[in-house]
Chains A and B, each alone.
Chain A
Amino acid sequence: MGLTGLFLISFLVVHASINACIWFNDGGETFTFYAHFMGTNTIVHFIEAGLFAGLILHIVDGLLLWKQNRDARPVQYAYNNPGKNSTWYSRSMAVLGTLILLFLVIHLYDFWAPNRVEYVTTGEEKDLFQMMQERFESLPIVLLYCAGCFSLFWHLLHGFKSAFQSLGLNHSKYNKAVEVAGIAFSIIVPAVFALMPISMYFHLVH
């Protein structure tokens, strides 16, 4: 879980950085330049395959974990008070992950899949910048993307520091730094993602 989780986190950094290029307000020129590279480079295609493998591993591992952990307590407490000793999101990683997954399916269907189909069939790429502009005209879609980012925020808020603990990386000198980095990362990355559909909806990106 820890390894695949951190791997997915590394992907988020790349993805967020490239997409943030839309804010250069150059008609998507910089963004398209990098998106084109990511969409057509063979090495990137291999990395992409690795990404999907990592994602699937993360999901399968996560769901297995969830099942085993649920089976470990066949009879529930009549009255339980878990709020006294742990955060709700640390106890809800499987639910948050599933919400992220639902969002991912929609998200891949929106951009990744049509672009891939176009590339394989015609050898050309779609204008992803324009696709974004069109897609984010619709308020429900914008809200859905924000909800996806919101789930990601909670998932990362626990996941980031949890991954370090799972790998045994716990040291009183660095724990505070890991925790602060985790909080900062969980806020910044989902916020950057959420601001994209929002700024497109309000026509702040040209």
Chain B
Amino acid sequence: MKVLVTVKEVAAVEDEFQIAGTSIDETYLEYDLNEWDDYAVEEAVQLQEAGIADEVVAVTIGPERSEETIRMALAKGADRAVRIWDDALEGADLLDVGAKTAILEKVVEEEDPDIVLSGVQADDDGFGATGVSLADALGYEWAAVVNHLDQDSVESGTASVRRELEGGVEELTDVELPAVLTIQTGINEPRYASLRGIRQAQRKEIAPKTLGDLGLDAAAVENELELTDMYEPETESDATYFEGGPDEAAGQLADLLREKGVGAQ
């Protein structure tokens, strides 16, 4: 059985930052593997370790810079990776769900996996839509916000999963394979890459592909979304701040808490 994991390099923003036009100035960005994808990679690797998956392929849409991040997925156990990038994607502030779907659909068709694992959402654009959109485009079944996957069920051709709903309720669902599952944080404990894994990852393949390689042209990824403004949200804060250093502030907070009867035995 083959498992494909979609991964994305995302930028985290430092506490203090500057906005330049409709993007954040590069100097304030730190790139890392998307938090949700880290759990998706772990889930795939666990399927492999359990002898259920015989191959785990990581797929990303990203510029050359993202290879460093993708290599982390390889270091954690994915067998090889495919990275799609193209001049037509360069400079787009935002890649919409339709464009991502069109690209990933081609890759999945080529790879023909039984299970595709994606993250629930990416921390940067936060659309939370690619996995389900992709499933529909492929004619795969799917489940969104999965926080448990019964490994044994997978071999029978139906994945028994739990979907994490709001308010501490989980939905138990059986999903026919092939399927896309969007993975929620907490489903497992993502491992740290071992030194050996990191060394091995250097020799693993990251195949670069252009839109042309996938049989797509620039029109397929034409964005209908245009980012027209980016700004720091106006603070709605009317908080009273305790100042004067940690000790002084702690003293004032303690007074407030005592006033409210907190800590009084």
Indicate whether A and B interact. no
Query: Which B residues have a C-beta under 8 Å from some C-beta of A?
Result: none
Chain A residues near B (Cβ < 8 Å): none
